[in-house]
Amino acid sequence: MSQLKKITRQIESFFSDGNPELDFLFDSLLLSLKTASKNAGSSSIARATPSIKHAQTLSTLLEAALLKLPVLSLHEHIQDLFEYFQRTLQENLHIPIHSELDDLAQLTAELRKGITSLSQTPNIKPNTQKNPQSAEPHPVSN
């Protein structure tokens, strides 16, 4: 139970200041992805390249910020997600694909919702409800 309290305090500490860095990184990454997607869907797809490069940088920074979360079990998932981000963005530098960039923006929005819900989770309390049935004596112990 002390481990649970420790993690709860660490999560509360992580989000205590509202974490403006995370807000900035999420907002900026979403804007870059949407701009890249818009330009990839237009007649001059080369205009998507600067936004894709910017999204690569921002996703690296966002990954680093999220890896500071005190929930170690999330770290591997975060790394896998951002590995996918980097691979997809690198591929889109060569041939920007509107739908792939839209998918990354949707993933970013969903990730933001998940992180926000983690920050808003009330203190986690272990289930301490006792079994309402009274213990019956063992038949051999008579």
pLDDT of 77-100, one tens digit each?
999 999 999 999 999 999 999 999
**Mean pLDDT, the chain, as a whole number?**
84
**13 pLDDT above the threshold of 80:** no
Q: Tell me the pLDDT band of 4, cut-offs 50, 70 and 90.
A: confident
Q: 44 or 138, which is more confident? A: 44
3-state SS, 88-137, equals: HHHHHHHCCCHHHHHHHHHHHHHHHHHHHHHHHCCCCCCCCCCCCCCCCC
Q: Give the list of residues 6+ apart from residue 37 with CB closer than 8 angstroms, or none.
A: 48, 98, 101, 102, 105
Q: Would the pTM count as exceeding 0.95?
A: no
Looking up tokens 């900026």, which residue turns up?
28
Say which CATH architecture domain 2-123 belongs to. Answer: Up-down Bundle (1.20)
Which two tokens mark 33? 């992805």
